[in-house]
Structure 1
Amino acid sequence: MQLVIAEKPSVAQSIAKILGATSRKDGYTEGNNYIVSWCVGHLVELAPADSYDEKYAKWRYGDLPILPALWQYQVSSSTKKQFDVLKKLLNGSRVDSVICATDAGREGELIFRLVYDKAKCKKPIKRLWISSLEDTAIQKGFENLKDGKEYDNLYEAALCRAKADWIVGINATRLFSVLYNQTLNIGRVMSPTLAMICERDAAISVFKPEPFYTVHLTCNGFSLIGEKLKDKAQATAILTACNGQDVLIESIEQKEKSEKPPKLYDLTTLQREANKLLGFTAEQTLQYAQSLYEKKYITYPRTDSRFLTEDMESGIPVLAKATAAFFMQSAAELPVNTAQVIDNSKVSDHHAIIPTMNTKGLDVQSLPHGERETLLLLAIRLLVAVGDTHRYSETVITAKCGESVFTAKGKTVLQDGFKTVQKLYKGEQEKEDKDQALPSIDQGEVFTAKAEIKEGKTSPPKPFTDDTLLSSMENANKAETDAERKGIGTPATRAGILEKLIKSGLAERKGDKKTKYFTATHKGTALITVLPEQVQSPLMTAVWEEKLKLIERGELSAEGFLLEIVGMTTALVKTYEMIKGADTLFPSDRESLGKCPRCGGAVTENKKGFCCSDKSCGFAIWKENRFFTAKKKNVTKSIVAELLKSGKVALTGCYSEKTGKTYDCVVVLDDTGGQYVNFTMEFGAKKK
């Protein structure tokens, strides 16, 4: 039998239906010589630092850098049951080969391979590589299974990425947290992204608006505009010289121009448009798209391509007509220029995101709001992308009044083209056309001018939205001589990075319901202030992303890349020196309950207990401390404060597990500096 392993139960059900493996068992289905099971996200992950040595449970500067010689992996406790199911199936005598059917991308490959390796399976692997969960796509995929060895490099790149993030994240986070006495999350992609936000914040804060002046001449129903001037006196002089005077039309230049339809969506452009038009965050858009994919309404969303492949060409006209039903009753006259969305050379793992034929006849209003709007965006983009070119005539008039030159621009639409279709979508807001419609004018004509001065002010840089920040991440350090983008993160990971910045307290979203923008918190700004260039540099991270792509293509060894990461991390730990005045950069926002008996630092409260603010110290009184919970007493701030002040605290009504009665006692702090804080009891009263 063949064992098929999907990424999620819902995907496994779709595959099982096609294969006829519909007999339900515990954790899998079987039938027709197939067993179909599933992962639940990352069943197997890189083990935490304390798995290598118990001492790493505490964050100490002296233990850094932590660099595993032999990497260890662990099974998540919450998903151990499903892993055990897969392990038994993988090594069972009934199974002679395995089909990897996880999502067809870097992370999907990693999810499967870690389970396969952890289970110590050696059976041959086939790979299902599809871009849609439509029945026909699944059938075709199983008819054309790939040899698993073809994706060894993809797995190497995925595992290398995970290890690199572990090395940088574990060591840099511990280094800066210990040095500056608070948790400071550092990430290979997260920190450069935060640096971009801080740089934009700084540019906005130092910006000072400067006035500028333009002289406008009104002539028989059209306007001529002079150059922008910083000097108001100069503008006033031109106004005086031109008002009521003759204006000579020196030249009239007409050009026919065209605008091609926009390309189809990849994940990043979909996220950007959904943020700009609908106010969705990047993470929300990814969730909506993933749900639509699993419902078989759209193709695979985690793609960086904006084109389709040649084998899809014949089906696009039918799909476009079906999709058009969302917006119009009849699509008979709808232009479908399929060739302009086809380019095999620009499709790597997956083609652009488009609706599937499963949307034919769909009541789109029945979908949840986020999914509905995301699907409509994808639908209108398909229709627009295969639409006709937008053509227009542009007229530029140059005129002279006295010694000053003025210009006017006009635009006449010759063929609306794809913009006719674009207007069918309620969210597509056309930018106001600043070019006026010009009357019929001849070269050499003379008009009498009515002049006026209009004052404006220079505008500050705009804060990042999800839309513009994703764009900056995608195009970070794009080399002028290199056509290939050097972005940071991947389409599949960028949304998660933005959310992690917020959850870590390093950045926040502000603004109204629809338009929200990113700004760094005080903590985030302080962190970028103390981070060395190599950690926060988008350039270095962008280069690393390119090297991961080279590993995928088999053009670079994973070992060489990791040695580079190890070298940078080791140098960081050994050479970094604390920034002076860190107390003002990282003031503690937590109430001090007293001095730590070990190092004299401040003891503050967190979710799990009362800990020394110096993480390298290790002193902590946990809220779920067995000594207190056995007596049915809660560890409160007042109890901890008294213990720190006098070394003991009187408690009443303590429960005895042995007798079931209660008693009063004095609890004494008996700390010996070990892994756990100890307590003893003194009795001054009899049991009741």
Structure 2
Amino acid sequence: MSGEIVVIAEKPDLAKAIAEGLGGGSRQDGYIDCGRHYVTWVFGHMLELEAPETPWTMAELPISFIPWSKKPSPDKMKQLRIIRDLLKPAKSIIHAGDPDDEGQLLVDEVIEWAGSRLPVQRVLINDYNLKLVQRALATMRDNREFAGMSAAAEARGVGDLLYGVNMTRAYTLAAQAKGYQGVLSVGRVQTPILGLVVRRDREFEAHTKGFYYTVTGQFQIGQHAFPARYQIVDGDPVDDKGRLSDQAHARAIAAAVSGKPARIISAVTTAKEASPPLPYNLLKLQTDASRKFGFKPDQVKEITQTLREKHRLITYNRSDSEYLSDEQHADAAGVLAAIGETAPVLAAPVKRADPAIKSRAFNTAKVSAHHAIIPTEATADLSKLSDGEQKIYLLIARAYVAQFWPTHQYDQTDIVLEVEGRRFTTRSNITTRPGWTTLYKNDAGNEDLADDEEVLALDLRALSAGQTGTCASASADQQETKPKPLYTMATLLTDLTRVAKYVRDDRLRKLLIEKDKDKAGEHGGIGTPATRDGIIATLFDRGFLIEKGKNIVSSPQAREFYDALPDQAKFPDMTAIWHEQQRAIADGSKDARSFVQTLADYVAREVAGVKEHGLTIKTDAPPCPTCDRPLRRVKGKKGHFWACTGYSEGCKYTAEDKAGKPVLIKKEPPSVSVMHKCMSCGMGLVRRPSAKKKNSFWWSCSGYPDCKQTYFDVNGKPDYSTKEKTA
């Protein structure tokens, strides 16, 4: 190996793009030989934080992570060794992680693990377009400028592990003491997501039906008949949302205007146009796939992974961006042709697409670490893909094709009328050119894509101010107040991008929104596109979230757990606090160790509270037949069995397990002899059967566990001449 410069890319696709930017090279085992440059890659975190191997007991908590250490992930050791061997004879390194703090850490930690002291340059690439890659390689910076980003990412990773391990163990152990069977997992992102669902469920259930009123007039102006809605003014009785709240008042308005002359105060028609929906990022794709096909987020991520890695049909699939670089516009003809060949159902729309159209999606300034998920120029036989792969590819492809269709154009007419001194308004939208909306008529995106006809129901463009007519009739309609609907997977995913609105502290809310100021589609979100689906899947696996029809609701145990948690754990405030502190780490005004130490102090206080007060949580654990404490299912060397949670208090009851249920046999309390006393403490002895030998017995002190004295049995009596060894 003789490459003078080793380039470490965050993923194989980026390594390939960099190799092409360097003029091409030959693929080797774990790297690409480009002559003077060797281009290698990582895939995800190659190193993992080491969690101390301690038993799951309260006595071991809190677990310290200071100082923390990392170890190679076993399945990534081969690639790590390749990178280390490439670095040994090299003269310098190019760091090609994604241009965000996590991408910075991914490569920095590998360089540190390899023990390299070579000079490192940083290249920032968020688009694999050849010209952009070459431009980035020509404008590299010193990697030391980005040390703060790496430290911030490391602090967050250590903090998440410290917080999750300690809080999960503390709450789980406290719950298990009450007979709880599962794991009460706690996480900085996971638990606030659970909190969103619990609070939404309770708000829905606590809703008290109420009513408000709308007044609608049916107007006849010349040849035009149309409805219009009454506009509320000061003095009208309204509810907290500004809606009419008094039925008699609403009826009085309707009676006052019904059959009376009406005059148009203003009639304004404005030509409008709407751009096509932006291409997908992962979260928007997961949301649409859930709404249209019922796919779970982790399913969508797996399908896109296959479409990308196996079929090479789409670009990077875990993107949080909905935009493309300006340079990618030059690829339009090739990508469109590939779509038409791969998906015959889209062949006609592709033919009508105009590669010269440049939609708002092409905006380099809005591309983050990645660009939107779009089709590649690779082709395949769509019929040979799985049903899920076909559906997801067609969604991605349709969104891309729409970028090259004309905008949707329509005339918007706003009418204001007056009758008996009261004003009514209405709006009408009339399509003048369907444009890209034709592609979305069939929302599944797989038929009737060539139909341009629009059914128009109402056209008020001919109306003008000053025209008169009649309010033919009016009605005061009672409307029922409704709570926010229960979550669906689609609405939950959408809410995760804007959880800042649920933060109670104004300053923290602004911090969370500020975190996403450069991310289109994120408005104070929690989690990342790459992690949200896994977190939601964990909540389902733990039994915290359950499906109820199309809705996602919290389980009874989730609500019990929620009520036992401190507010800081179940609201998204912590993510905002962490963002502020990690921003300070990134700019050098705070260090990672002090952040972790502050968090460790907080966790220690929470754990101490759990130790002192336990956990108030209801369980359906069966009671111990001996002492009435709850039983808990335990895995032993020979399989599962049930044991009393009062073991440490002296109850040693156990029961066999059958299909996950205990075989309950009430054990009579041992008979304490009044004749035979312990020679050590004077307490009565208990004659017990031997577990190892049939028809054999031994004697133990009834003062156990304070006195552990035992005796052999001789003809039904304790043998005081020879004492057994005590435990």
Shift of residue 461, structure 1, vs aligned partner? 0.3
| Structure 1 residues 333-377: Cα deviation after superposition (integer angstroms, max 9, x where no partner) | 424433622333322321222111114xx3223222222222222
Distance 1:668 1:247 in 2: 104
| Structure 1 residues 273-304: Cα deviation after superposition (integer angstroms, max 9, x where no partner) | 22223322222222222222213221112222
Taking structure 1 as reference, are residues 6 and 503 closer, same or farther at Cα in structure 2, changes over 3 Å only? farther
Taking structure 1 as reference, are residues 469 and 121 closer, same or farther at Cα in structure 2, changes over 3 Å only? same
Taking structure 1 as reference, are residues 331 and 520 closer, same or farther at Cα in structure 2, changes over 3 Å only? closer
Distance 1:667 1:101 in 2: 73
- Matched with 1:438 is 460
Taking structure 1 as reference, are residues 460 and 636 closer, same or farther at Cα in structure 2, changes over 3 Å only? closer
| SS in structure 2 of the partner of residue 340 of structure 1 | coil
| 8 A contact 1:324–1:383 mirrored in 2 | no
| Structure 1 residues 319-339: Cα deviation after superposition (integer angstroms, max 9, x where no partner) | 245435531336454244336
Counterpart selection for 2:168 from 173, 179, 191: 173
Q: 1:334 aligned to 2:372?
A: no
Q: Point out the more displaced range, 587-596 or 470-479.
A: 587-596
Q: Which amino acid aligns with 1:162?
A: G
Shift of residue 400, structure 1, vs aligned partner? 3.3
Counterpart selection for 2:432 from 408, 414, 425: 414
Give runs of aligned pairs for residues 572-651 of structure 1, distance below 5 A. 572-574=606-608, 583=616, 586-593=617-624, 601-607=629-635, 609=640, 610-613=642-645, 637-638=662-663
| SS in structure 2 of the partner of residue 319 of structure 1 | helix
Give runs of aligned pairs for residues 45-60 of structure 1, distance below 5 A. 45-50=48-53, 56-60=54-58
Q: Which amino acid aligns with 2:170?
A: L
Shift of residue 536, structure 1, vs aligned partner? 2.1
| Structure 1 residues 135-170: Cα deviation after superposition (integer angstroms, max 9, x where no partner) | 999999999999876775554344322211111112
In structure 1, list runs of 5 or more residues that go unmatched.
Answer: 51-55, 626-633, 655-662
Paired residue total: 637
Q: 1:532 aligned to 2:566?
A: yes
| 8 A contact 1:267–1:303 mirrored in 2 | yes
- Percent of pairs with identical residues: 26
Q: Point out the more displaced range, 206-215 or 138-147.
A: 138-147
Q: 1:67 aligned to 2:98?
A: no
| 8 A contact 1:650–1:667 mirrored in 2 | yes
Give runs of aligned pairs for residues 391-402 of structure 1, distance below 5 A. 391-402=409-420
| SS in structure 1 of the partner of residue 268 of structure 2 | strand
Shift of residue 233, structure 1, vs aligned partner? 2.7
- Matched with 2:682 is none
Q: 1:460 aligned to 2:483?
A: yes
| 8 A contact 1:340–1:386 mirrored in 2 | no
Distance 1:99 1:640 in 2: 69
Distance 1:559 1:447 in 2: 75
Distance 2:191 2:289 in 1: 25
Q: Which amino acid aligns with 1:49?
A: P
- Matched with 2:678 is none
| 8 A contact 2:690–2:698 mirrored in 1 | no
| 8 A contact 1:198–1:519 mirrored in 2 | yes
Taking structure 1 as reference, are residues 9 and 404 closer, same or farther at Cα in structure 2, changes over 3 Å only? closer
- Matched with 1:160 is 155
Taking structure 1 as reference, are residues 334 and 440 closer, same or farther at Cα in structure 2, changes over 3 Å only? same
- Matched with 1:629 is none
| 8 A contact 2:219–2:469 mirrored in 1 | no
Q: 1:352 aligned to 2:368?
A: no
| 8 A contact 1:90–1:121 mirrored in 2 | no
Taking structure 1 as reference, are residues 63 and 375 closer, same or farther at Cα in structure 2, changes over 3 Å only? same
Distance 1:351 1:96 in 2: 35
Q: Which amino acid aligns with 1:509?
A: E
Distance 1:157 1:72 in 2: 16
Shift of residue 413, structure 1, vs aligned partner? 1.8
Distance 2:604 2:456 in 1: 56
Shift of residue 471, structure 1, vs aligned partner? 2.6
Taking structure 1 as reference, are residues 399 and 43 closer, same or farther at Cα in structure 2, changes over 3 Å only? closer
Distance 2:714 2:397 in 1: 76
The TM-score with structure 1 as length reference comes to 0.75
Distance 2:9 2:203 in 1: 47
Distance 2:160 2:650 in 1: 25
Q: 1:520 aligned to 2:551?
A: no
| 8 A contact 1:303–1:491 mirrored in 2 | yes
Shift of residue 204, structure 1, vs aligned partner? 0.7
Distance 2:510 2:208 in 1: 30
Q: Which amino acid aligns with 1:488?
A: I
Distance 1:536 1:593 in 2: 33
Counterpart selection for 1:250 from 248, 265, 268: 265
RMSD: 5.2
| Structure 1 residues 121-145: Cα deviation after superposition (integer angstroms, max 9, x where no partner) | 7678788987689999999999999
Q: Which amino acid aligns with 1:328?
A: A
In structure 2, list runs of 5 or more residues that go unmatched.
Answer: 232-242, 502-508, 518-522, 672-685, 716-727
Distance 2:386 2:259 in 1: 62
Q: 1:235 aligned to 2:250?
A: yes
Q: Which amino acid aligns with 1:256?
A: A
Taking structure 1 as reference, are residues 302 and 571 closer, same or farther at Cα in structure 2, changes over 3 Å only? same
The TM-score with structure 2 as length reference comes to 0.71
| Structure 1 residues 207-238: Cα deviation after superposition (integer angstroms, max 9, x where no partner) | 12323333433344322333563333333334
